[in-house]
Amino acid sequence: MTAMCDVAFLLLTFFILTAKPRTDDPVPVDIPASTMKIQLPESDLATLTVGQKKVFFGVEGFEIRKEVLKQMSDKYKVPFTPEQIIKFSALPTFGVPIRMLPGFLDLDGDQKKNFKQPGIPTDTTATCELFDWVRTARVVTASLDNKDMRVAIKGDGKEEYPTIAMIIKVLQKQKVNKFALITSVKSVAK
């Protein structure tokens, strides 16, 4: 019994230390499989989740999120309270226009989950919100961590190509020509 207890607690400690809670995607995303096995970095990364023709944005790191929100708040003249900034720093990914963001941040857990997020407004011009989110996140990452931010696209396999093409255009507008496509692993079919 003592040995079993020891093993159980050892495993428990291991899982608690390695735990990184699974982040729920706001829309169901079925990522396509590929044979590539490049690891994604865990920091200095922005993820664009794409599904049902909507784009969701998320950036890693609490401090980076806070700073990004502050700069976006200045740029779009949308004020945020300190509580809302703290709530935002715990938000892994979101997809609401910035004018709706204060209201969205005030919702509590369940309401937030059930809230139909309309996606971040995106078009091919250099003035759309997605462009500014990515750009601000890159500037903040460069100033706080002194590193280039990587951009990853997590797309639903059944998403039609025009949506993806639009995101790629937005990224290329700010000369982000290299990005990662998040895929699951499969072996080469022989």
Dig out the tokens for 113 from the structure: 């989950």
Dig out the tokens for 156 from the structure: 């639903």
Q: Is 146 left (phi over 0), alpha (psi -120 to 50) or beta?
A: left
x-marked contacts with another protein along 137-176 as a string, rule CB under 8 A: ---------------x-xxxxxxxxxxxx--x---x--x-
| 184 interacts with another protein by CB under 8 A | yes
- Shortest distance, CB of residue 32 to another protein, whole angstroms? 4
Q: Count the Cβ atoms, other than its own, within 10 Å of residue 182.
A: 16
- Closer to another protein by CB, 21 or 82: give it: 21
| 39 interacts with another protein by CB under 8 A | yes
| Length of the chain measured in residues | 190
Half-sphere exposure of 184 (CA within 13 A, CB side): 9
DSSP code, position 159: -
- Closer to another protein by CB, 33 or 142: give it: 33
Do 44 and 145 touch, CB atoms closer than 8 A?
A: yes
- Shortest distance, CB of residue 17 to another protein, whole angstroms? 10
Query: Scanning the structure block, which residue is given the tokens 């022989």?
Result: 190
Q: Report CA torsion sign: 122, 131, 158, 47.
A: negative
| 111 interacts with another protein by CB under 8 A | no
- Closer to another protein by CB, 34 or 81: give it: 34
For another protein, the binding residue among 25, 44, 49, 50 (CB under 8 A) is: 50
Dig out the tokens for 62 from the structure: 């609490």
For another protein, the binding residue among 107, 126, 142, 181 (CB under 8 A) is: 181
* Binding stretches for another protein (CB under 8 A): 1-2, 4-5, 8-9, 11-12, 15-16, 18-22, 31-40, 42, 50, 152, 154-165, 168, 172, 175, 177-185, 188-190
